[in-house]
Amino acid sequence: MPRPQTKEITFTIDGREVTAPENIMLVDGAKHGDVEIPVFCYEPKLGAPVGACRMCLVEIEGIPKLQTACSTPIKDGMVVHTQTDRVHEAQRAVVEFLLINHPLDCPVCDKGGECPLQDITYGWGAGTSRFIEPKRHFKKPLELSPLVAIDRERCILCYRCVRFSQEISEDYQLILLERGAASFVGTFDGRPYVAPFSGNITELCPVGALTPSTYRFRARPWDIEQGGTVCTLCPSQCNVSLTVRDEKVLRVLARDNDGVDDGWLCDKGRFAFQHAHSEERITQPLVREGVALLPASWEKAYAAAAAALKKAGPKAAAIAADETTNEEAFLLQRLFREELGSGNLATPGAALPIEVTRALADPALQARVEDLEFADTVLLLDCDPLDDASILDLRLRKGIRRRGVKLAVASAHPTALDDSAKVVLRYAPGGGEAFLVALDAALSGDEGNLGGGASAAGARAGDVRALRDLLDGDVVVVFGERLLRSESVANALLNIVSRLGMRGRAGAGLLCLPSTTNGRGLAEAGFAPGHGPGYQPLEQTGRGLGDIADGLADGDLSVLYLLHADPLRSLGDRARWERALGAPTTTVIAHESVMTEAVREYADVVFPAEAYPEKEGTIVHPDGRVQRLRQSISRSGDVRATWQVIVEVAGRAGLDLGVLAGPMASHQLFGAVPFYAGLTLDTIGPQGTRWVEGQQFDIPEWTPVKLSVPDAAPAATNGSLRLGTFRTLWASKEVDVSPALAFARPDPVVEMSPVDAERIGIGHGDEVELGSNGTKFQGRAVVRAAIPAGSVFVAEGVGELALTEALVEVRALTSVGAAPVDGDAGQPATDAAAGEPTEVGTAADQTGADTDTHPAEDASGEPRGDTR
């Protein structure tokens, strides 16, 4: 889809000739001439202007009435006046009108000092009010949700929050209730506004009406400073500005970067900052003595780790995940490869042969985040952006709503974007490869493989054809790294890319959502078994994730070095990792910021790791943007920088890494990765740099290879159902230790279709047990109409999930819920949080103890005053 073209025009504002792009709104155009026009309701991020607050009235020659500058596009030759008596009078009147019902409680208001209403009143108001009648009153403040407090008396009814809910996050929960001067913002029936992006309204609010509950009365603007960095809680890597008071993070604000996040944050990113100051933080080194993990000096911990590594040599293995920076990964792989002679370096992502990895990482194939907004079609493959890289969910909604992007979804588990998709194709859990084979066949006209692949995937050939028909023009394929289980899957994907002619096509491309925050950066820094820094070939490859687990269990490997990785929670196959970690020969060295089960039970040496606000270094966004983490607060307790710890351990193990400061590590990395050539911390800058934009890989264009239809996913039988897993945004250690997000912590659930639930006799909310081969998993049944019959789904990283078989037996333990009925009121907390308001659901008791924190009962917000 072509990007809008801009043409420069000249117009006159307050007697000055100003040049600006044609058709931008006058409010923005005026800025090109250094003229500020005050606004309340106008916010370009929210889409088309509404012209509700009337603050931006200006005089335009040739138009008798005053016009709202927020909704008037500038034209060549337009003559605008913002400083006439008429304009001043109208602006003063609007300020006076807005303050009629505003309590003017600025001295106790959290917004005081950073409040647009305050600023505009000083700048454009009359300074006095002629209003002497009683103001309207509301109960205040109320919980709009567990995260947001609402003070309706301060509200100036600018509609920003409501527009966000209706048109950006599309959760459709916030509405204006009542009419005229009695209007107030609320939700249907006073229910809590629980949605994955709800916190953004606190930043949109131009007054102190919506404030984050975590920031209320914590600081005033003159107490705080802002530190810009990047959130590392998921692969979206949103740019954030941390509000810091006395070395503590008190608030997370979006730091607009259109190339990354469009200025929005998810509630995890906005509220899980609390993990940095949690009681659960590990703040000093720990060394296991006997069975107990005891605090130790840094010297002792360094020595213990170095000794274990030296002894293990090539029998050492390392796993990096989550907030690991490129520099940390790069230094650790140097230690492993150069000193220990071990290439056993794994991440939660895929380990594929180097040719395939390089083919997928080809700069000519990489889509940008903005392409999601301008593509003709976006295909989501085995991923749900909401859970895999949450902020992309909003970007896709924007593209679909404002630019008519067509969305196709192909996944096993239902996604939050299904309702916005033109085609939704559901295949059986594990049927991803077969689906890709079918799609490739559909594109190449191979009817045999199309039928065979579709049938093996548990999908209909007709649906595959319908999906194929959408793949026209600029196509962006967004896929979850989890899809790349084997080389044959990657081949199928590359075939499709080749058949769609995506290589080198601007506006089209691949966007891989990695399994861990910096998945792309780890691979580029050479933290992989199959390639070195910059995807350079190795003489000898190391073990992948599964082989590491088996090697440890069998005693072939003896040291496991965990760089922010939690094998028991986020690497799947828990039983296998329990065997690996629990093997008598295994020594575990871990860098971790909060206490996890793996650390508590199995770690022998624990280095306290920084929370992301304490970190410096670089990470790479899934679209190839190298971004910079900057330390915003001092490190808690005895915590030392992870790069420093690695350097110290390496030194004691016999390798001088030659790094004395963080930037030196970055410098080494940029020198070692060929395509980072020329990069410096300065050139990365506040918005990051996409290295893929000036680089080319010297690789031949992919020629489609012959694919064979994989074995069909096992079919559900009467006694057992297919097991699939899905990721949830909320399953993370940071959420677990953030008190504000306690209500969002996911409980173990078993999602199943109404058909299966009815057949087995399970009601929504019942406790159920999944079992195979003697391994069991218990959870609460969530009956969803969107789940295809024959499959059950459990969330990764929630509960002790050790099931590995494709088929599981399901049985009810207790029966607490009603029969699964469509359209019943109520939502499980996790579902509501995941923004799926259309699912079936019963069980008012599902939120359990959480309901206590919900303000449902007193959020009705009846005005008390005399307004009626």
Partner 1 sequence: MQLLFDDIDRAGLNTLAVYEEKGGYEQLRRALSMSPEEVLSELQASGLRGRGGAGFAMGKKASFLPHGDMDKYVVCNADESEPGTFKDRELMQKNPHLLIEGLAIASYAVGATRSFIYIRGEYDYVADILDAALAEAKTARHIGPTMGDEGYGLELWVHRGAGAYICGEETALLDSLEGKRGNPRLKPPFPAVQGLYQGPTLINNVETLMNAPIIMRMGGAEYAKIGTETSTGTKVVSVSGCVQRPGNYEIVLGTPTREIIYDLAGGPGEGRSIKFFFPGGSSSPVLPGTDENLDLPYDFDSLAKAGSMLGSGAIIVVDDTVPTIDVALKTAKFYKHESCGKCTPCREGTNWTVKMLERIDSGMGTPMDLDIMSSVCDQIIGNCLCVLGDAMAMPISSMIKHFRTEFEAHMEARRAEAGLGPDGALSGNDVTEDRGGPYALTGTRTS
Q: Which stretches of the chain bind partner 1, using CB under 8 A?
A: 48-55, 57, 65-66, 68, 71, 89-90, 93-94, 97-98, 100-101, 130-131, 133-134, 137, 156-157, 159, 175-176, 178-183, 864-867
Q: Which of 253, 431, 291, 304 is nearest to 788 (CA)?
A: 431
Residue whose CB is less far from partner 1, 54 or 422: 54
Residue whose CB is less far from partner 1, 12 or 183: 183
Residue whose CB is less far from partner 1, 54 or 505: 54
Spacing of C-alpha 730 from chain mean position: 10
In whole angstroms, the minimum distance from the beta carbon of 141 to partner 1 comes to 18
Distance (Å, rounded) from C-alpha 249 to C-alpha 240? 12
In whole angstroms, the minimum distance from the beta carbon of 43 to partner 1 comes to 15
In whole angstroms, the minimum distance from the beta carbon of 865 to partner 1 comes to 7
In whole angstroms, the minimum distance from the beta carbon of 52 to partner 1 comes to 5
Distance (Å, rounded) from C-alpha 331 to C-alpha 334? 5
Residue whose CB is less far from partner 1, 133 or 698: 133
Residue whose CB is less far from partner 1, 82 or 390: 82
Residue whose CB is less far from partner 1, 7 or 868: 868
DSSP state of 66: -
- Helix then strand then coil, in percent of the chain rounded to 5, is 35, 20, 45
Please state, as a whole number, how many other Cβ atoms lie within 10 Å of the Cβ of residue 190: 18
Residue 846 dihedral angles phi and psi, to the nearest 5°: -65, -35
Distance (Å, rounded) from C-alpha 155 to C-alpha 204? 12
Residue whose CB is less far from partner 1, 129 or 775: 129
CB 560 within 8 A of CB 586: yes
Spacing of C-alpha 804 from chain mean position: 27
Element (H, E) at 241: strand 239-245
Cα-based distances in Å from 399 to 381, 403, 466: 18, 5, 21
Residue whose CB is less far from partner 1, 97 or 298: 97
In whole angstroms, the minimum distance from the beta carbon of 108 to partner 1 comes to 19
Element (H, E) at 17: strand 16-21
User: Residue 417 corresponds to which amino acid?
Assistant: L
Distance (Å, rounded) from C-alpha 374 to C-alpha 160? 25
Three-state secondary structure along 156-206? Answer: CCCCHHHHHHHHHCCCCCEEEECCHHHCEEEEHHHCCCCCCCCCHHHHHCC
Distance (Å, rounded) from C-alpha 648 to C-alpha 644? 6
Distance (Å, rounded) from C-alpha 665 to C-alpha 753? 51
Residue whose CB is less far from partner 1, 51 or 714: 51
Distance (Å, rounded) from C-alpha 644 to C-alpha 534? 23
Q: List the structure tokens of 54.
A: 């009337």
Residue whose CB is less far from partner 1, 98 or 436: 98
In whole angstroms, the minimum distance from the beta carbon of 21 to partner 1 comes to 20
Residue whose CB is less far from partner 1, 706 or 868: 868
In whole angstroms, the minimum distance from the beta carbon of 622 to partner 1 comes to 34
Q: Which of 418, 236, 428, 424 is nearest to 835 (CA)?
A: 418
DSSP state of 750: E
Longest pairwise C-alpha distance within the chain = 87
Residue whose CB is less far from partner 1, 100 or 812: 100
Sheet with 292-295: list strands edge to edge.
292-295, 286-289, 605-608, 587-592, 559-563, 316-320, 345-346
In whole angstroms, the minimum distance from the beta carbon of 156 to partner 1 comes to 8
Residue 748: which residues within 8 A CB-CB, separation 6 or more?
777, 778, 779, 780, 794, 795, 798, 799, 801
In whole angstroms, the minimum distance from the beta carbon of 54 to partner 1 comes to 5
In whole angstroms, the minimum distance from the beta carbon of 786 to partner 1 comes to 24
In whole angstroms, the minimum distance from the beta carbon of 857 to partner 1 comes to 20
Distance (Å, rounded) from C-alpha 701 to C-alpha 733? 42
Three-state secondary structure along 352-410? Answer: CCHHHHHHHCCHHHECCCCHHHHCCEEEEECCCHHHHCCHHHHHHHHHHHHHCCEEEEE
Element (H, E) at 442: helix 432-444
In whole angstroms, the minimum distance from the beta carbon of 121 to partner 1 comes to 13
Please state, as a whole number, how many other Cβ atoms lie within 10 Å of the Cβ of residue 310: 16
Residue whose CB is less far from partner 1, 25 or 832: 25
Element (H, E) at 521: helix 519-524
Residue whose CB is less far from partner 1, 97 or 697: 97
In whole angstroms, the minimum distance from the beta carbon of 56 to partner 1 comes to 11
Q: Which of 96, 93, 91 is nearest to 57 (CA)?
A: 91
Residue whose CB is less far from partner 1, 71 or 585: 71
Q: List the structure tokens of 207.
A: 């007054």
In whole angstroms, the minimum distance from the beta carbon of 489 to partner 1 comes to 42
In whole angstroms, the minimum distance from the beta carbon of 75 to partner 1 comes to 13
Residue whose CB is less far from partner 1, 101 or 753: 101
In whole angstroms, the minimum distance from the beta carbon of 836 to partner 1 comes to 22
Residue whose CB is less far from partner 1, 95 or 629: 95
In whole angstroms, the minimum distance from the beta carbon of 166 to partner 1 comes to 9
User: Residue 410 corresponds to which amino acid?
Assistant: A
Give the position of tokens 């209003």: 131
In whole angstroms, the minimum distance from the beta carbon of 176 to partner 1 comes to 7
Residue whose CB is less far from partner 1, 175 or 660: 175
Q: Which of 282, 229, 230 is nearest to 733 (CA)?
A: 282
